[in-house]
């Protein structure tokens, strides 16, 4: 029974608790048992609060109408404080920091009835698209443990893909929800800028690049997670219009006939794996069969200047994060407490003038205006999520004699398709629509107009119904 429970969707788990078909305690015990069996191999969780989870589960009774009542979940160890749980941000420097209050994400999830089992692994400060922090060790992909689950929400991706939980929190500043979703065969939606508040720790959070969301196995669960997390908090820097109805309802209705463009080539010219390109072609064919108007088209981006200015803003944001974390722990974070890449990014941030930073930010905001105009003629853009399937652990590391910053630049060879939508603030979603010749998941990215999560969710649900994926299981599974 417990193994069957683990592979139910979060929506179904909550319904079973509500109807008395199982208890929240049964769900939590099943998840804790799965963590005990497979986390040692995957290293998805870096902290497990078993006693607190069982106690919280015992408070949930049959008939509880909350949307996630009794559902065991995980929260990423970055940007989302949980009261009483250690929060490292993937850093040795923060290993002793324990927040005293829940952040907005944890508060909303708990209010919806979810049971927080613990915190999942992330790279230091969430900088990289792989999850290999020195502080907590690498997380491994359940489909192939020699490969990364992606990052920076790699621990959450591995936890959901392996069946430890049905839903896990993630955040996305350059692809960090979509990259693990593609690597692990999951659904991952980056909401619109401002859709989910980062209160209370962050204000604009990397000038609006990152946003919180969830990783799940179904479109319906992703929509439900967004309903739980979305909403304005006083003082938020960005405000988006509310949906016309709950996002979960969007998953139940037809999207209508949409104008869809698709792209096979990367914006920075790096090679795209043939299996990945085929997955996009197959998605385009399916969308045509479903009645949509599909053509090969995409907005244009100047890759050289875009990457240069994006990296400048990312570096400046890293300097700001280190300042904030020093204040949280009550003493400055020393250079010798940082990984080489983070240390070099701090040095570069300290050498950058305010004018340098604002020029880079202004460039990104200007090209965002140009890119978003493409949606005057189209409703959705379809691209690969990644240039190739999950890569081997350690494969982005700098070579002998190379600067640490090379780690960050090497990432652009794998993740060229995701960061631009953090710059524009548009919703973007990865769906597990392909498989490589070696059996690895391949994600296909759907990008919507600003604040158009409803369109993406309706379209994704239509695609999921036509080509279901929820029954797939990786080699390492609970």
Q: List residues with catalytic annotation.
A: 76, 152, 176
DSSP state of 300: -
- CB of 475 closer than 8 Å to CB of 144: yes
The 3-state DSSP class for residue 14 equals helix
408 half-sphere exposure, CB direction, 13 A CA radius: 24
Q: Which residues fall within 8 angstroms of residue 314, CB to CB, at 6 or more apart?
A: 127, 173, 174, 206, 209, 345, 408
Q: Measure Cα distances from 119 to 208, 240, 245, 251, 457 in Å.
A: 24, 29, 31, 28, 27
DSSP state of 231: B
- CB of 433 closer than 8 Å to CB of 444: yes
Residue 264 has φ and ψ, to the nearest 5°, of: -110, -25
435: left (phi over 0), alpha (psi -120 to 50) or beta: beta
CA proximity to 153, closest of 130, 136, 135: 130
CA proximity to 129, closest of 341, 373, 348: 341
Residue 216 has φ and ψ, to the nearest 5°, of: -145, 180
Instruction: Provide the 10 A C-beta neighbour count for residue 244.
Output: 9
Whose tokens are 């890759």? That residue is 303
């Amino acid at each position: 029974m417990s193994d069957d429970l683990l592979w139910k969707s979060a929506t179904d788990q909550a319904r079973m608790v509500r109807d008395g078909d199982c208890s929240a305690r049964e769900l939590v015990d099943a998840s804790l048992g799965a963590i005990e069996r497979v986390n040692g191999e995957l290293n998805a969780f870096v902290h497990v609060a078993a006693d607190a989870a069982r106690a919280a589960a015992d408070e949930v009774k049959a008939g509880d109408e909350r949307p996630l009542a009794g559902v065991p979940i995980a929260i990423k160890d970055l940007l989302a404080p949980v009261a009483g749980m250690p929060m490292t941000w993937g850093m040795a420097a923060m290993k002793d920091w324990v927040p005293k209050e829940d952040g907005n994400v944890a508060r909303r999830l708990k209010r919806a009835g979810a049971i927080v089992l613990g915190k999942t692994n992330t790279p230091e400060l969430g900088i990289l698209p792989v999850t290999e922090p020195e502080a907590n060790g690498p997380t491994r992909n359940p489909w192939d443990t020699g490969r990364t689950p992606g990052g920076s929400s790699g621990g959450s991706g591995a936890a959901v893909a392996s069946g430890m939980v049905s839903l896990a929190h993630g955040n996305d500043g350059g692809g960090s929800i979509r990259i693990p979703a593609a690597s692990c065969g999951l659904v991952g939606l980056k909401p619109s800028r401002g859709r989910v508040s980062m209160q209370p720790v962050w204000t604009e959070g990397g000038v609006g690049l990152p946003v919180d969301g969830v990783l799940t196995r179904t479109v319906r669960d992703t929509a439900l997670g967004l309903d739980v997390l979305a909403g304005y908090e006083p003082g938020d820097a960005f405000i988006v219009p509310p949906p016309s109805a709950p996002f979960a309802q969007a998953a139940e209705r037809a999207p209508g006939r949409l104008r869809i463009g698709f792209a096979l080539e990367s914006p920075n010219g790096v090679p795209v794996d043939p299996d990945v390109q085929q997955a996009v072609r197959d998605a385009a064919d399916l969308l045509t069969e479903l009645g949509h108007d599909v053509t090969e088209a995409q907005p244009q981006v100047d890759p050289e200047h875009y990457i240069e200015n994006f990296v400048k803003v990312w570096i400046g944001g890293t300097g700001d994060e280190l300042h904030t974390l020093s204040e949280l722990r009550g003493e400055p974070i020393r250079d010798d407490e940082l990984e080489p890449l983070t240390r070099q990014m701090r040095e570069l941030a300290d050498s950058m003038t305010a004018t340098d930073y604002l020029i880079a930010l202004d460039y990104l905001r200007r090209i965002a205006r140009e890119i978003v105009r493409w949606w005057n003629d189209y409703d959705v853009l379809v691209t690969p999520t990644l240039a190739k399937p999950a890569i081997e652990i350690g494969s982005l590391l700098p070579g002998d004699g190379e600067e640490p910053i090379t780690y960050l630049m090497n990432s652009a060879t794998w993740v060229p398709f995701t960061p631009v939508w953090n710059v524009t603030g548009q919703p973007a979603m990865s769906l597990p629509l392909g498989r490589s010749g070696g059996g690895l998941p391949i994600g296909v990215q759907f990008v919507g107009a600003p604040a158009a999560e409803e369109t993406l969710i309706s379209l994704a649900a239509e695609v999921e119904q036509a080509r279901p994926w929820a029954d797939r299981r990786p080699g390492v599974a609970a």
